[in-house]
Amino acid sequence: MAVDTNYRAGIKLLFKNEWGSLVATFARFEYALKLAGYLKYEKPGTSAEAGWAGFAADLGDGFLAHCRGLPEVQVLFNAPPRLLKVDRDREVSWKKARAVNSVSDFFLVIQDVRGSLFHGDAKVHGERDGERIEAAQAVLDEAWGWALQDKANARLVRFCEAFRFTQ
């Protein structure tokens, strides 16, 4: 059966290279976090989910202070993506953005950017969203560099080793 793919033509028009880069980098981060033992749930038999909070704790508060000083990521502090929340009668609407008070919160904002890219309304993919996507990529790049410098933390070392992508 031949399927008419015009239903997704608008997606192709909106897609930009930085989106693919963020998606691929984020996916690889989550894979490496799991292999390094950064797990959301540690009970045997549970699904392996990336434990961003543990990673954030190992990077430390200095990482957040460093990022607050980077002009290219200010949009994530000043205008983070709003959150799609459930209202009454199973309706959904965009609500207030998450506040960044910790490194863990900051990585939740990065996850919100990625989630908005995958699950957002087509009309929200405007200039500000492009800035957020580029800023989220910059944060992941900074986190990689920060982790790479900490040779004393065995989990961060394993994370960096697991992240490397070779063909």
105, 99 Cβ separation under 8 angstroms: yes
The CB-side HSE value for 161 (13 A sphere, CA atoms) comes to 10
Averaged over 64-81, what is the pLDDT? 96
CA-to-CA dists, residue 78 to 68, 75, 82, 109, 130, angstroms: 10, 5, 12, 12, 15
57, 103 Cβ separation under 8 angstroms: yes
User: What does DSSP assign to residue 97?
Assistant: P
| Two tokens, residue 11 | 């997606």
Distance CA 7, CA 10 (A): 8
Most confident segment among 7-11, 21-25, 55-59, 128-132: 55-59
The pTM of the full predicted model, rounded to 2 decimals, is: 0.85
CA dihedral 117, 15, 137, 123 (to 10 degrees): -40
Provide the percentage of residues in the chain whose pLDDT is more than 70. Answer: 82
Residue 167 has pLDDT above 90, yes or no: no
Residues 6+ apart with CB under 8 A from 133: 16, 18, 19, 22, 113, 117
Instruction: List pLDDT tens digits, range 26-66.
Output: 999 999 999 999 999 989 999 999 999 999 999 999 999 99
Calculate ∠ Cα 99-82-79, nearest 5°.
Answer: 60
Nearest in space to 163 (alpha carbons), one of 9, 3, 7, 26: 26
Query: How many residues are present in the chain?
Result: 167
Residue 70 has pLDDT above 90, yes or no: yes
